[in-house]
Amino acid sequence: MRTLQVALAERSYDIHIGAGLLSTFPLADKVRGNQVMVVTNETIAPLYLEAVTSRLSHLQCDTLVLPDGEKFKTLETLERIFDALMARGHSRTTTLIALGGGVVGDMVGFAAACYQRGVDFIQVPTTLLAQVDSSVGGKTAVNHPRGKNMIGAFHQPSLVLIDTDVLDTLPERELAAGLAEVVKYGLIRDPAFYAWLETRSAKLLSRDREALSEAIYRSCLNKAEVVADDETEQGNRALLNLGHTFGHAIETATGYSEWLHGEAVATGMLMAVHLSAELGWVESDLIGRLRDQLHAWKLPTAVPSSMTPARFMELMALDKKVQNGRLRLVLLRALGEAVVTADYDPQALQRTLEAFC
C-alpha cells in the first residue's frame, strides 16, 4: 500500500492506494462514530458492497443502493440519501461512504456536506476517473436540468481508499476515459510523467497492475499538490481544466450521452495543444505525440461531424470561463507548464477550430 497526504489548512487527509485494499484495509478504524452508511449503485453493489460492509460489521452499518447513471445525479436522488439517513436515525457523527465512480462520489460527498450541516465522508472510488480525479479534492455536486454540477459544495473527504483491483471489472471504454485525465497531469505540470506514460500506453490499457498503480499514485500526487495549493479554485486549480472548455462544448453538442467525459476531454486536450502550437508556445510535434497516445488508448481525436467553428464558439461562450467577453482557456506555455489565459491571438483559435471541424 502507498499513502499520500492532501495537506490542507483546515484538515489534511490520506489517500491510500493498493491492490486488495477493500478486503484488507482496517476501514472501521477510520470511522469516528458508531454509524456508517455505504452508498453505492446497482452495478457496483453486487461486485463490491459486501467486501466493504464486512469490514464494518461491529458498527451500525446501513447501505443504500442507487440506480446507475449520470441522469440520477440529481436533487431527487439526494433526497433519497437524506431519507435513508433519517429513517435509520443517523446522527451528526455518522460517516457516509461513497463506493462508486464520480457520480456516486460527487452525490454522496454533497449529501455529506449538507446532512446535519456536514458529516464525515470517505471516498472509495471504483472507476479510474474517480481514483485519479474526482475522489480527491472535495468538489461535490449534483446536476440541475439547466446545467451540470450546478448545485454543490466544497466538502473534503476524511479518507480516500483506492483499491486498484476493482479496475478489473471496469469496461475498457471507462478505463480509457480515466487515462485521458491521467495524461492531463503530465501535460499541465509533470513532463517526466508524460514521457513515462508514452512508453507504457499498451501496458496501461491492458491493466498491467504495476503500471496502473504507478499512474494512479502519480496522478493523485499531482492532484493533491494542486488542491493543497488552491483548495477552492481561486487560481491554479483551474489548470486541471485543460481541454475541458473544448470538451464541454462537445459534450453539450452531443447531449451528454454519446461521449464519455474523458473522451471529450481527450479531443479537447488535443485541441488545446494544437492551439498552443499555433501560438508558438509548444513544439508542433507534441500534437502528434499526444494524438498517438490517445489513439493507443482508443480515445477519440476528432470532433463530431456536426461541429463547426461557429458552433464551438457559441457553446464555449456559455462556459463559466468567459470573463468580460473574453474566453479564458487553459493552454500550454511548454510541455508541463499550463496557464489560464485570455491573452492569445483569436486568429490562432480560429485556425485550430478549422483544423478540427
Active-site residues: which are they?
117, 139, 181, 223, 233, 237, 241, 244, 248, 261
Q: Which is nearer to ligand NAD, 261 or 321 (CB)?
A: 261
Residues in region 171-230 near ligand NAD by CB under 6 A:
174
Whose cell is 499520500? That residue is 4
Interface characters, 26-45, with ligand NAD (x: CB under 6 A): ---------------x-xx-
77 close to 151: Cβ distance less than 8 angstroms: no
> Would strands 60-66 and 35-41 be described as parallel, antiparallel, or unpaired?
parallel
Nearer to ligand NAD, 41 or 95 (CB): 41
User: C-beta of 247: minimal distance to ligand NAD in Å?
Assistant: 11
First-to-final CA distance of the chain: 45
Any contact of residue 149 with ligand NAD (CB under 6 A)?
yes
Which grid coordinates are listed for 280?
A: 508558438
Cβ nearer to ligand NAD, comparing 240 with 287: 240
Size of the site for ligand NAD (CB under 6 A): 27
Binding mask 117-136 for ligand NAD (x = CB under 6 A): ---------xx-xx--xx--
Distance CA 107, CA 112 (A): 9
Closer residue to ligand NAD (CB): 71 or 326: 71
Kind of pairing between the strands at 13-18 and 2-6? antiparallel
Beta carbon of residue 357, minimum distance to ligand NAD (angstroms, whole number):
26
Whether the Cβ atoms of residue 316 and residue 342 lie closer than 8 Å to each other: no
Q: Site residues for ligand NAD, window 312-351 (CB under 6 A)?
A: none
Q: Which of 22, 61, 101, 115 binds ligand NAD (CB under 6 A)?
A: 101
Edge-first strand order for the sheet with 95-100 is 2-6, 13-18, 159-163, 120-125, 95-100, 35-41, 60-66
Q: Which residue from 5, 54, 169, 306 is in contact with ligand NAD, where contact means CB under 6 A?
A: 169
* Phi, psi at 350, each rounded to 5°: -60, -40
Q: What string marks each residue from 61 to 100 as x (binds ligand NAD by CB under 6 A) or -?
A: -------x-x--x--------------------------x
CA angle 292, 295, 301 (to 5 degrees): 95
Taking the complex as a whole, the smallest distance from the CB of residue 166 to ligand NAD amounts, in Å, to 4
By CB under 6 A, the residues from 227 to 266 that bind ligand NAD are 261
Contact 203, 151 (CB under 8 A): no
Please state, in angstroms and as integers, the Cα–Cα distance from residue 263 to each residue in 35, 105, 211, following that order. Answer: 38, 20, 21
Question: How is residue 82 written as a grid cell?
Answer: 437524506
Q: Please give the DSSP secondary-structure letter assigned to residue 29.
A: G
**Minimum Å distance from CB 201 to ligand NAD?**
20
Asked if residue 161 binds ligand NAD (CB under 6 A), the reply is no
Nearer Cβ to ligand NAD (264/290): 264
Report the residue number, 52 or 353, with the smaller CB distance to ligand NAD: 52
C-alpha dist (Å) from residue 122 to 67, 95, 155, 190: 20, 7, 11, 28
Judged by beta carbon, residue 106 or residue 190, the one nearer ligand NAD is 106
User: Three-state SS for 262?
Assistant: helix
Cα separation, 246 vs 217, in Å, equals 27
List interacting residues with ligand NAD (CB under 6 A).
41, 43-44, 47, 68, 70, 73, 100-104, 106, 126-127, 129-130, 133-134, 137, 139, 149, 166, 169-170, 174, 261
